[in-house]
Amino acid sequence: MKSFLIIGMGTFGHHMCQALCRYKCEVMIVDVNPDALEDMLPYVTEAKVCDCTNIDALRRLDVASFDACFVCVNQAFQACLEITDQLKELGARRVYSKADRDLEAKFLRRCGADAIIYPERDVAERIAVRESSEHIFDFINLSSGCVICEIEPPREWMGRTISEVGLRSRYNLNLIAARSGDDRHFPVLDPNYKFKPEEHVLVLGNMDDIHRVTT
């Protein structure tokens, strides 16, 4: 069972805690405000009230024992920087730090953050992609421009196989799964799979290439 440390129990910290607990992970939560911890007490392994900008307080948490640490401090970027830096100094295996701007992310990476979380930006981007096209129904941003999109295949693909369409050679896309008639996606492993009317498919590729087939 994996274990995680969440520092800062604002809105994002609460959502992260709830999600990890649903997946049966061990979670320790920390905040300077005891009231912020109260509603999560029945679900977490341990809760601490302390100021994590104090390296001695962090040292007592044994941060190196967690699979990952999440720095979710709200409206206190200096504190976020200090905590991120000290977590790495104390041997934290992996540190996720929350940022609102690219400039903040730049400094957090310099302090050792392994990954940057942009909660509001990522949600806004996902909604914008979905709503800006009549043929894109969901969107997951992976990294370096690589995304997974649920799309409605173009009409000219209907009845043709993946190779006949030239999904990879012509469009630089890979078909992952398809959905037709219900909410469950099923994996597509057969290269002779034919696109069907009223079907949605999950494709992996570059956003520019996906826009080419959905506009």
pLDDT digits (tens, 9 = 90+) for 56-112: 999 999 999 999 999 999 778 899 999 999 999 999 999 999 998 889 999 999 999
Say if residues 203 and 179 touch (Cβ distance below 8 Å): no
Residue 137 Cα distances to 54, 109, 145, 206, angstroms: 45, 33, 18, 16
CA geometry: angle at 103 spanning 97 and 104, to 5°? 25
pLDDT digits (tens, 9 = 90+) for 135-165: 888 888 876 678 899 999 999 999 999 989 9
DSSP 3-state assignment of 64? helix
- Lowest mean pLDDT across 2-16, 99-113, 142-156, 179-193: 179-193
pLDDT digits (tens, 9 = 90+) for 53-72: 999 999 999 999 999 999 99
Nearest by Cα to 40 from 52, 50, 27, 25:
27
**What are the structural domains of the chain?**
3-117 (3.40.50.720), 122-214 (3.30.70.1450)
> For residue 7, what are the β-bridge partners?
30, 71
Nearest by Cα to 54 from 87, 76, 27, 29:
87
pLDDT band for 127, please (50, 70, 90 cuts). confident
pLDDT band for 179, please (50, 70, 90 cuts). confident
Average of pLDDT values for 176-190? 78
pLDDT digits (tens, 9 = 90+) for 31-55: 999 999 999 999 999 999 999 999 9
